[in-house]
Amino acid sequence: MKNHTLRLLAVMIAFPIVGSAEIVIDDFEANAGNWTVKGQGLQLQLTDSPAEVKEGKSAGKLIADYDKPYSSSAKFDLADTSGISPETGSLKFWLFGDGSGAKLQISFIAQDGGVFSIEKAIGWSGWEDVEVPLKKFTFNKFAGPAEGPSQNLDPAQIKTLMIGVYGGLKAGDAKHEFFIDSIRLLP
């Protein structure tokens, strides 16, 4: 009788478990009162018209009014974002576009004042499920302090989400209306 030796090769794969649940920033079901609008060129309202809502009973209505001063944005202060990975995390939301090519500027403001931004051209009409990986957001030295803050987006340090709209006007246009729903951070 022969003795046989069985050898097993164990492989261990390690990966960080940063967070398992998405963070709902705003689903617009309660109100649009948690947003602070700066400037006169952008309004954020709550709408419950079924044609203007993607999920739930209401959505946010962004009205970009180009007859008003240009520099306008809506800001939302965030709570704990520490469960979001800088490598795999993303910002996800529904946006109803008008096909105008207007640009949506999305920014995160960190606790140290650093601003991280990305622009998205709104070249589609109707609802679009928009997902932007956090690693695509770049440090914007023109929007915040150029010296001192971290130049890498750390989701645990995010304190504010900021949205602005500009461009895309055609002859005779004075304003654009966009609808936004279910804004969330994914781990």
14-64 pLDDT, tens digit per residue, is 333 344 578 888 899 876 667 888 877 788 889 999 999 999 999 999 888
pLDDT in tens, 57-68: 999 998 887 665
pTM above threshold 0.85 = no
The set of long-range contacts for 77-80, using a CB threshold of 8 Å and a minimum separation of 24, is 77/34, 77/36, 77/159, 77/160, 78/23, 78/25, 78/158, 78/159, 78/160, 78/161, 80/23
For residues 127 and 105, is the Cβ–Cβ distance under 8 A? no
Structure-token match 């004075």, residue found: 174
Query: Which domains does the chain show, CATH number per domain?
Result: 23-186 (2.60.120.430)
End-to-end CA distance of the chain: 56
- Cα pseudo-dihedral 142, 147, 150, 156, rounded to 10: -70
pLDDT of residue 173: 66
For the chain, state the CA radius of gyration.
21
pLDDT of residue 23: 87
The CA distance from 3 to 25, in Å, is 63
For residues 100 and 176, is the Cβ–Cβ distance under 8 A? yes
The structure tokens listed for 182 are 């279910």
pLDDT in tens, 112-154: 888 899 999 999 999 999 999 999 998 876 665 555 556 778 8
